[in-house]
Amino acid sequence: MSKDQYAESPAITWNKDYLLRWEDFKGNPNHKIPASANSSVGLESQPTIQLITTKTKFKFKINVVGIRAIFIPDASMMIKERISEQGSATLLRHEQGHFDLAEEIARKSNVKLNAEFNSRTFTIHGNNEEESKKNALHQVKEMISKYLVEEHEELKTLEKKYDEETRHGIIEDKQNVYNERFDKLRI
């Protein structure tokens, strides 16, 4: 799913100082599913490159891959009448866990991809510097997007495992193990 499909509310980028609130869940409730809430999370990349100009050709180097975990408000929903007052904080914490899983993958991906691309230069075609930089960014995004497809699949697998092991946050001791793991992201 592309975040561009949900352009009304901007995606929220994971931040150690920000925890999701119910107000962030802006999607239309789906009463046909048994879930009381659903978080739409994913990964995006904001690469930065350095253009290297030689006499006869243009090259570029990737400085930062910049993979980030995002929460998509307009694709995330909650059904207020299904959430009890005492269960609200527990369920919200569970939904935050989906976002935290995405952050774990983003961090792992940044380490892996920065190591792969660090200090490598790539030749790029273009008639001038501006065209070359545009082509370089396109090429970088294409390289990274192939990798992100794999990472999104891993995220889906981890989210499914998370939901199964915690029964969507109901099994308290299992949820607490994940909560402790996720708390380490904020240190």
Averaged pLDDT in 10-residue chunks for the chain of 187 residues: 54 97 95 92 90 81 89 96 91 98 96 84 83 86 88 96 96 98 97
User: How many whole angstroms separate alpha carbon 43 and alpha carbon 149?
Assistant: 9
Q: What number of other Cβ atoms are within 10 A of residue 46's Cβ?
A: 12
Q: What pLDDT score does 74 carry? A: 97
pLDDT at 120: 79
| The predicted structure's pLDDT at residue 148 | 92
What is each CA distance from 16 to 51, 92, 93, 103, 137, in whole angstroms?
32, 16, 14, 10, 29
The span from the CA of 98 to the CA of 25, in Å, is 13
Residue with tokens 């993979």: 67
Taking the whole predicted model, whether its pTM rises above 0.85 is answered as yes
> Residue 110: in which H helix or E strand, if any?
helix 88-117
Residue with tokens 């909650």: 78
